[in-house]
Amino acid sequence: MVWQSAMRTQLLLWLCGYAALWLWAWRVKHSGKAVVSIAVVSLAALLLAASFSQTGHVASLAGLWPLLLTLHVLAISAWVGSLLPLWQSCYRLAPDRLLALMQQFGRVAVIVVLVLISCGVLILLQLLDSPAALFVTDYGRLMLFKLMLVAAMLLLAAWHKFSLVKALAQHQNSRLLARSIFIEILLALLVLATSSSFTTVVGLAH
């Protein structure tokens, strides 16, 4: 039934993406070639992210919109996927190494957030009839709730970058940073739960 439906392309992308991850875990990961490993994992991430554009509201849009959604999914995956390792690093790394890690992540995160926000705003403007739909439709109100959660995550990320990471340079306790990242993880889970309900609970805002 799935093969004969509109989900066939999505299923193919899923299978190819997970096959690439399986290949990485079984063979490439232990080959010692970092370039090959990065290439295989990047290909898997691209295939899995592209699968999200095959169903849902964006699937009905032509042109570059599926590509924008793919970039949006890749950006949120990179951001949310980094939170757990960063939280664990607060307990496992020495302050100087944690400082270097957070500074490096901060530089990359700026690009990730710019891609995330720009793609998300463009897609949202295309899906909504007008900005007023954010307040008068079920889809819009749910999207508004998601935007509030993302805004809270951005505020925490800014606090990390401009305050807590600088405190690490003064050899202050990293536990506050760990607690803040944990709160960001909880917010990220709420964002993902909200996103998953768009096509299953509410319809498009038209």
What would the pLDDT profile of 164-185 be if each residue is shown by its tens digit? 888 887 766 688 899 999 999 9
Give the model's pLDDT for residue 101.
94
Write out the chain in H/E/C secondary structure. Answer: CCCCCCCHHHHHHHHHHHHHHHHHHHCHHHCCCHHHHHHHHHHHHHHHHHHHHHCCCHHHCCCCHHHHHHHHHHHHHHHHHHHHHHHHHHHHCCHHHHHHHHHHHHHHHHHHHHHHHHHHHHHHHHHCCCCCHHHHCHHHHHHHHHHHHHHHHHHHHHHHHHHHHHHHHCCCCCHHHHHHHHHHHHHHHHHHHHHHCCCCCCCCCC
pLDDT, tens only, 91-113: 999 888 999 999 999 999 999 99
Claim to verify: residue 39 and residue 87 sit in the same structural domain: no
Claim to verify: residue 121 and residue 86 sit in the same structural domain: yes
Confidence band, pLDDT 50/70/90 cuts, at residue 131? confident
pLDDT, tens only, 47-93: 999 888 887 777 677 778 889 999 999 999 999 999 999 999 999 99
Residue 188 has pLDDT above 50, yes or no: yes
Claim to verify: residue 35 and residue 87 sit in the same structural domain: no
pTM of the model: 0.84
pLDDT, tens only, 27-36: 766 666 777 7
Give the model's pLDDT for residue 1.
67
Claim to verify: residue 98 and residue 130 sit in the same structural domain: yes
pLDDT, tens only, 109-127: 999 999 999 999 998 888 8
Q: Do the domain assignments include residue 88?
A: yes
Claim to verify: residue 183 and residue 83 sit in the same structural domain: yes
Claim to verify: residue 87 and residue 127 sit in the same structural domain: yes
Domain edge (last residue) among 55, 70, 94: 55
Residue numbers of the domain that contains 27: 1-55
Q: Do the domain assignments include residue 205?
A: no
Claim to verify: residue 88 and residue 128 sit in the same structural domain: yes
Claim to verify: residue 165 and residue 85 sit in the same structural domain: yes
Give the model's pLDDT for residue 66.
87
Residue 6 has pLDDT above 80, yes or no: no
